[in-house]
């Protein structure tokens, strides 16, 4: 029997943009579609998988490292909603140690244990902390750990800026077997101009939007119950959006090297959109989005 190839996906994006929410719903949706999925939180906050486990925290890979340099799978892998596997890398307390090294260590520990193969997984989804600040956080896109990267971004300039930085990271490792870009998951897209902004950005950087996710109070309500939207409100419109995202990601095969904007291009691009939005506000362009 030929060994099945685990599809490994890394989700990046600016802090607080909705990575963990989106990832957890994606994990839940893929699992409901019949796949074996592991969600791997790469963030010292170790809160990535909370909504898959009723709002609870689990012991982390790096916690187990304090005791021994070999991880025992049962100490770090926990099952959550619909049997998904949850892992948290963990890390140091804020302001001490090296979180970046922690991510590298945690991912390597799991890889060494050949745990993905043993569990016969279809998907491993890495939910990686905020911006790529140093080498450690680039770990999942280096050395062929994940093959596909998706970035969660809203239409806010700082979110786009973080996405563009990530593209630079991907471009850097693209020639040495690093992960390539699957596309942008456009989160909190309600206003039409927001869609226009993100569409323009992906066109400029030669990538695509894989799905538009509206901002929805259902997400908040589910989160307050410690659940994903797929668990708490499976029949809601928002759940259908996440299912669509899961289908598209399951069908996605070819990732590409993006063309990030350089500093000046990005500034010019933002300035252009600043003018557009101003025109929109002063009524030069009429739109329903005028009440920002």
Ligand X SMILES: Nc1ncnc2c1ncn2[C@@H]1O[C@H](COP(=O)(O)OP(=O)(O)OP(=O)(O)O)[C@@H](O)[C@H]1O
Residues making contact with ligand X (CB under 6 A): 13, 15-21, 43, 130, 187-188, 213, 215-216, 219-220, 223
Active-site residue, 45 included: yes
Which residue in the list 43, 122, 127, 131 is annotated as catalytic? 131
Which residue in the list 45, 195, 248, 256 is annotated as catalytic? 45
DSSP 141: G
Q: In angstroms, give the least distance from the CB of 228 to ligand X.
A: 10
In 3D space, the residue among 215, 234, 212 whose CA is nearest the CA of residue 225 turns out to be 234
Q: In angstroms, give the least distance from the CB of 145 to other proteins.
A: 18
- Residue 20 binding target from ligand SF4, other proteins, Mg ion, none, CB below 5 to 8 Å by type: Mg ion
255 Cβ contact partners less than 8 Å away, ≥ 6 residues apart: 147, 148, 149, 179, 180, 181, 182
Binds Mg ion (CB under 5 A): choice among 20, 24, 50, 151: 20
In 3D space, the residue among 18, 227, 27 whose CA is nearest the CA of residue 123 turns out to be 27
In 3D space, the residue among 104, 210, 206 whose CA is nearest the CA of residue 164 turns out to be 206
- Residue 105 binding target from Mg ion, other proteins, ligand SF4, none, CB below 5 to 8 Å by type: other proteins
Helices (H), 205-236: 217-224, 229-232
Q: How far, in Å, CA of 160 to CA of 190, rounded?
A: 16
Which residue in the list 14, 36, 227, 243 is annotated as catalytic? 14
List of residues contacting other proteins (CB under 8 A): 62, 65-66, 69, 91-93, 96-99, 101-102, 105
Active-site residue, 19 included: yes
- Residue 279 binding target from ligand SF4, Mg ion, other proteins, none, CB below 5 to 8 Å by type: none
- Residue 21 binding target from ligand X, Mg ion, ligand SF4, none, CB below 5 to 8 Å by type: ligand X
Q: How many degrees, rounded to 5, is the angle at CA 123 between CA 70 and CA 46?
A: 55
């Amino acid at each position: 029997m030929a060994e099945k190839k685990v599809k490994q996906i890394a989700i990046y994006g600016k802090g607080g943009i909705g990575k963990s929410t989106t990832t957890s719903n994606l994990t839940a949706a893929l699992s409901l579609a019949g796949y074996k999925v592991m969600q791997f939180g790469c963030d010292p906050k170790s809160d990535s998988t909370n909504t898959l486990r009723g709002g609870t925290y689990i012991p982390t890979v790096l916690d187990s490292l304090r005791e021994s340099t070999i991880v025992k799978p049962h100490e770090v892998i926990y099952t959550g909603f619909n049997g998904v596997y949850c892992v948290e890398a963990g890390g140091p307390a804020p302001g001490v140690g090296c979180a970046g090294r922690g991510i590298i260590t945690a991912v390597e520990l799991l890889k060494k244990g050949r745990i993905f193969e043993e569990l016969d997984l279809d998907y491993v989804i890495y939910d990686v902390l905020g911006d790529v600040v140093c080498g450690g956080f680039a770990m999942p896109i280096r050395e062929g750990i994940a093959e596909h990267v998706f970035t969660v971004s809203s239409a806010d300039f700082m979110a786009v800026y973080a996405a563009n930085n990530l593209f630079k990271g991907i471009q850097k490792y693209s020639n040495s077997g690093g992960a390539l870009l699957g596309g942008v998951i456009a989160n909190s897209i309600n206003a039409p101009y927001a869609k226009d902004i993100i569409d323009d950005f992906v066109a400029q950087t030669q990538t695509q939007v894989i799905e538009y996710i509206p901002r929805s109070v259902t997400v908040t309500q589910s989160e307050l119950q410690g659940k994903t939207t797929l668990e708490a409100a499976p029949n809601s419109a928002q759940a259908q959006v996440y299912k669509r995202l899961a289908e598209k990601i399951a069908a996605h095969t070819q990732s590409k090297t993006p063309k990030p904007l350089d500093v000046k291009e990005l500034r010019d691009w933002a300035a252009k959109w600043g003018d557009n939005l101003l025109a929109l506000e002063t009524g030069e362009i009429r739109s329903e989005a005028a009440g920002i």
